[in-house]
Amino acid sequence: MDLTGKTALVTGSSRNIGRSTAIRLAEAGADVGITARTDEEGCAETARLVRETGSEAAVALADIGDPDAIQSMVDAIRDQLGPIDVLVNNATYRPSKPFLDVETEDLDRVLAVNFRGVFQTTQAVVPDMTDRGGGSIVNLIGAMVYLGKHGHAHSYGSKLGLEGQIRQLATELGADGIRINGVSPGLIDVDRTRTEEWDRIEREVIRSTPLGRLGDVEEVADACCFLASDAASFVTGQVLHVNGGTYPTPTLVPES
The answer to the question of residue 254 being in a domain is: no
The answer to the question of residue 54 being in a domain is: yes
Strand-pair category, 57-59 with 31-34: parallel
The answer to the question of residue 115 being in a domain is: yes
The answer to the question of residue 255 being in a domain is: no
The answer to the question of residue 256 being in a domain is: no
For residue 135, list its beta bridge partners: 178
Domain that holds residue 99: 7-242
**Number of structural domains in the chain:** 1
54: left (phi over 0), alpha (psi -120 to 50) or beta: left
The structure's pTM equals 0.91
The answer to the question of residue 199 being in a domain is: yes
Q: What is the CATH number of the domain that holds 188?
A: 3.40.50.720
- How confident is the prediction along the chain (256 residues), in pLDDT tens digits per residue? 899 999 999 999 999 999 999 999 999 999 999 999 999 999 999 999 999 999 999 999 999 999 999 999 999 999 999 999 999 999 998 888 888 888 899 889 999 999 999 999 999 999 999 999 999 999 999 877 777 677 777 878 888 889 999 999 999 999 999 999 999 998 888 776 556 766 776 787 778 788 888 889 999 999 999 999 999 999 999 999 999 888 655 555 445 4
DSSP string, 181-204: EEEEE-SB-------HHHHHHHHH
The answer to the question of residue 247 being in a domain is: no
The answer to the question of residue 188 being in a domain is: yes
